[in-house]
């Protein structure tokens, strides 16, 4: 079905088409029977493949990556497509418009996207109001960013504000320190600023856990453009600060294999297949240090069960996708989960964790 409507959406400007699609989805869900039809076509065709990560039980390991539902407006339809979890945001403390348009570009020959959205966000209050207006259907991560106008020296305060605001609404929280579109943000991945950030956020997490009586995991989202020593430093700090998870990776500022593509000159972060190998390399390098002590959520260029398996065998415990959802539509979920379930059985195992232990030992 998606292949029939995709040309219509792709004929429009990329950002308009994105907003229109989410709007239409919300509108369609007001029609009687729409929800059960979507569930029948998608969620019901997605086999269970449960996995326990960060103390949470995920119905399957394939999540929606941050950036598609920045305002938390489309939870029920997205869950009904069969995602094992949704990562919402990035949300910034205060509302901000993001970068001037156009800021979203499709590189259709490569099934890729370049974006320089720049954390367009309605801010925490509006985000939480949207969340409160919808029933909880499944696991939710909330991805936090800093406002562009917040001086770098006060970046930690923005993440603390975010953590306090979303703590009781999220199953896990992501600190996004790797978007290439907010000046200075990626410098938070350097040793001293990262140590300060992790220490402050970990302390606050402890206080919030005591106040609310439950622990909400914190994951750090990293860039694919780090060198090996940068990755090793991050891995060491994650262990030292007992961080709950790491998401690898965000979009890349590099343009691998896109030398002949005029649109590749647009500034911003690249996602989709050209990112796949880079992000898998980061996962493999992180895993070499972490050795399973801290779970990895693998993201970057996943569009098939083989891509997903590559990330999992490299060290990921869960995976996420965004760009393949735009190019292939919601059917890609069931296809990937089905393919993973087949690989688990082919290893003679009944659960993903056992199959991965086998596959990683080879």
Ligand X SMILES: Cc1cc2nc3c(=O)[nH]c(=O)nc-3n(C[C@H](O)[C@H](O)[C@H](O)COP(=O)(O)O)c2cc1C
Residues in touch with ligand X (CB under 6 A): 65-67, 70, 90, 104, 113, 115, 117, 143, 176, 179, 221, 250-251, 271-272, 275, 299-302, 321-324
Task: Count the Cβ atoms, other than its own, within 10 Å of residue 36.
Answer: 11
- Please, what is the minimum distance in Å from the beta carbon of residue 113 to ligand X? 4
**Does a cis peptide bond (omega within 30 degrees of 0) precede residue 249?**
yes
Minimum distance, C-beta of residue 303 to ligand X, in the bound complex (Å) = 8
**Residue 48 DSSP class:** -
CB of 115 to ligand X, least distance (A): 4
Percent helix, strand, coil in the chain (nearest 5)? 50, 15, 35
Q: Of 23 and 206, which has the nearer Cβ to ligand X? A: 23
| Cα of 185 vs its chain's centroid, Å | 17
Work out how close the CB of 107 gets to ligand X at its nearest, in angstroms, rounded to a whole number.
11
We find the least distance from the C-beta atom of residue 210 to ligand X, in angstroms, to be 28
Q: Which is nearer to ligand X, 205 or 280 (CB)?
A: 280
What is the C-alpha separation between 86 and 141, in angstroms, rounded?
6
Residue 31, classified by CB atoms within 10 Å of its CB into exposed (0-12), middle (13-18) or buried (19+), is exposed
How near is the Cβ of 325 to ligand X at its closest, in Å? 8
CB closer to ligand X out of 231 and 275:
275
Instruction: Say how far apart CA 74 and CA 25 lie, in whole Å.
Output: 8
- The residue nearest ligand X at its CB is 67
Told to judge if 179 belongs to the known catalytic residues of this protein, a careful annotator would answer yes
- From 17, 179, 271, 279, active-site residue: 179
- The residue among 39 and 166 lying less far from ligand X, judged by its C-beta, is 166
Residue 67 vs 82, nearer CB to ligand X: 67
Nearer to ligand X, 97 or 206 (CB): 97
N- to C-terminal Cα distance for the chain? 40
Neighbours of 124 (CB within 10 A): 22
Count of other CB atoms within 10 angstroms of residue 151 = 10
Count of H-run helices and E-run strands, the chain: 13, 13
* Token output for 43: 């969620």
What is the dihedral sign for C-alpha 123, 128, 133, 139? positive
Question: Residue 127 burial by CB count (10 A; 0-12/13-18/19+): exposed, middle or buried?
Answer: buried
Active site residues: 179
């Amino acid at each position: 079905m998606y292949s029939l409507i995709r040309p219509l959406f792709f004929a429009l400007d990329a950002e308009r088409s994105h907003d229109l699609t989410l709007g239409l989805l919300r509108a369609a869900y007001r029609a009687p029977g729409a929800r059960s039809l979507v569930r029948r076509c998608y969620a019901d065709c997605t086999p269970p493949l449960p996995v326990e990560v960060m103390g949470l039980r995920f119905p399957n390991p394939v999540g929606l990556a941050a950036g598609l539902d920045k305002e938390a407006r489309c939870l029920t339809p997205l869950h009904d497509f069969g995602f094992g979890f949704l990562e919402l945001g990035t949300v910034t403390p205060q509302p901000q418009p993001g970068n001037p348009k156009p800021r979203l570009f499709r590189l259709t020959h490569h099934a890729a996207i370049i974006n320089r959205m720049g954390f367009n966000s309605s801010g925490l209050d509006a985000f939480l109001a949207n969340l409160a207006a919808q029933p909880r259907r499944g696991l939710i991560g909330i991805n936090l960013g800093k406002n562009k106008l917040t001086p770098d020296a006060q970046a930690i305060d923005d993440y603390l504000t975010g953590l306090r605001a979303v703590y009781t609404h999220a199953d896990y929280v992501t600190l996004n320190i790797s978007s290439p579109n907010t000046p200075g943000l990626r410098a938070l991945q350097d040793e001293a600023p990262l140590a300060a950030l992790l220490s402050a956020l970990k302390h606050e997490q402890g206080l919030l856990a005591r106040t609310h009586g439950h622990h909400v995991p914190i994951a750090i989202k990293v860039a694919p453009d780090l060198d090996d020593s940068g990755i090793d430093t991050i891995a060491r700090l994650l262990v030292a600060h007992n961080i709950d998870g790491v998401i690898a990776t965000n979009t890349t500022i590099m343009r691998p294999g896109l030398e002949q593509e005029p649109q590749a000159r647009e500034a911003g972060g690249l996602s989709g297949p050209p990112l796949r190998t880079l992000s898998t390399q980061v996962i493999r390098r992180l895993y070499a240090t972490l050795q399973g002590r801290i779970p990895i959520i693998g993201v970057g260029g996943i569009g098939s069960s083989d891509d997903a398996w590559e990330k999992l065998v490299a060290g990921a415990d869960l995976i996420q996708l965004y760009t393949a959802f735009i190019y292939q539509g919601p059917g890609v979920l069931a296809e990937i989960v089905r393919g993973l379930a087949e690989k688990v059985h082919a290893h003679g195992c009944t659960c993903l964790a056992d199959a991965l232990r086998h596959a990683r030992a080879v």
